[in-house]
Amino acid sequence: MLFSSTTFLFIFLPVILAVYFVCPKRFRNLVLLIGSLLFYAWGEPRYILVMLATILVNYILALVCASCKEKGKETGAKAAVIGTVVFSIGMLAFFKYSNFFLSNINGSIGKMVGFSIPLLKIALPLGISFYTFQTLSYTIDVYRGEVKPQRNLLHLATYVCLFPQLIAGPIVRYRTVAGELEQRQESFALFGSGVRRFVTGLGKKVLLANTAGSIFQMIGDMGDSQLSVALYWMASIAYTFQIYFDFSGYSDMAIGLGRMFGFQFLENFDYPYSSKSITEFWRRWHMSLSSWFRDYIYIPLGGNRKSSGRTFINLFIVWFLTGFWHGASWNFIIWGLYFFVLLMIEKAGLLKWLEKMPKALGHVYTMFFVNLSWVIFSYDTLEVLGRVLKRMFGFGGLPVWNTTSTYVLLSYLLIFLIMAFAAIPLPKKLIKRVGDVLPERGKETIALLAEACGLLIILLLATSCLASDAFNPFLYFRF
């Protein structure tokens, strides 16, 4: 079930909100758990058992780990943590990467010796990459003594299954919501803040991401006789906007839904397309994932506390895993290592030069390489990826510009400008300035009415688009 679907907006969400707030507080986690399981079962009923098994194993081994720590049995505590890592990563590897490894074995060793291993007929459980990282962070934090083990299985299951962040994040750590699982204070102010955030995210997803995605798909469906170098660049820019508004819109909706139920999730995006370096970009993009790899992979490996050679290896491992986490395909590995190379170049001295350059140049540099990264990200067949990159840089025998390029540019220029405007902090600053110049008398009322009207317009437009357009994918659902 998608957040941006009429079923969710007009049936599931109103029903679960009504049941949740009617129930006494002591039953609200149970309501959320049941509702979250129904939400998950809507798309993946077969794999509920996989998620529940992951929760149960981490619940038991976290208790074992804490008990061993209390008794001074460090070996037992380490064994419990290793057990959770082996089980959780094993489940993720089996469902997500089995066929990738089998395909590569068949394509290399299999060809040499003349055999082929049949691929497994398994689907990727929705959200497994996200809830695996959540359960791992919980048990590791218990081992580190940063959180106490959750002895109530219902509370832990609610944390993992919580439907706002279950399918595509953000990666919510247990320590962030531990107190709210036990006792949280819902309020009209928090609920209203959640509604505003949810509707904003819905607008990003339906009005902007879907539009950008349709442009990307339209150009991709063109025949070679219609294509040009310029059109390939327009397609890449469209995808760059699609993936940002798709994922940041989902994160906004998840954060907003969390607030409606009394949870305060951490931010996941901070206007990454306004960055002036790749280093800054990764401080602003998918922050819950970046911080997870930093805290549970990079720092335990030694971070930058050892030799420069060891730091290089640590960063290589982190970015290899970052790419591989996104998907069982070579293009994702290349995508991760592409950023590793860029970040190492900046670390070697380019970052100092960028800091001295005019901000506009730094921004152009960043967006050029970020845009190119999404080309690598978007094509999971290396042959297709190679052909696209060649054509983008004029080596595919296509004209640089043609009449179709003119038509597409004139048709969608305004949309591209709107998306570029929406991807930077300027609109937020302009709204604040308008608020500052309003007369003091009735200022708050005017601001509230203007905001309510704006949100209502976004909701009506988004609903209208959902009712009339079947194109409504969520890119991060495949991870």
Burial 198-212 (b: 16+ CB within 10 A, else e): bbbbbbbbbbbbbbb
Q: For residue 72, is it left (φ>0), alpha (ψ between -120 and 50) or beta?
A: left
Residue labelled with tokens 């995210």? 201
Contacts of 288 (CB under 8 A, 6+ apart): 169, 170, 171, 172, 266, 268
The torsion defined by the Cα of 78, 143, 91 and 44, in degrees rounded to 10, comes to: 160
d(CA 243, CA 475): 7
Closest CA to 345 of 369, 326, 323, 321: 369
d(CA 378, CA 417): 22
d(CA 36, CA 46): 15
The torsion defined by the Cα of 458, 463, 468 and 470, in degrees rounded to 10, comes to: 100
Active-site residue flag, 286: no
Question: Which of 155, 286, 326, 363 does the annotation list as catalytic?
Answer: 326
Residue labelled with tokens 């349709």? 214
Q: For residue 229, is it left (φ>0), alpha (ψ between -120 and 50) or beta?
A: alpha
Angle at CA of residue 63, ends 262 and 300, nearest 5° = 85
d(CA 6, CA 9): 5
Burial 61-75 (b: 16+ CB within 10 A, else e): bbbbbbebbeeeeee
Contacts of 359 (CB under 8 A, 6+ apart): 276
Angle at CA of residue 424, ends 419 and 428, nearest 5° = 105
Q: Are 193 and 310 in contact (CB under 8 A)?
A: no
Please give, one letter per residue, the 3-state secondary structure of 385-419.
HHHHHHHHCCCCCCCCCCHHHHHHHHHHHHHHHHH
Q: Are 89 and 60 in contact (CB under 8 A)?
A: no
Please state, as a whole number, how many other Cβ atoms lie within 10 Å of the Cβ of residue 242: 26
What SS3 class is residue 197? Answer: helix
Here the tokens at position 223 are: 């025949």
Catalytic residue IDs: 326
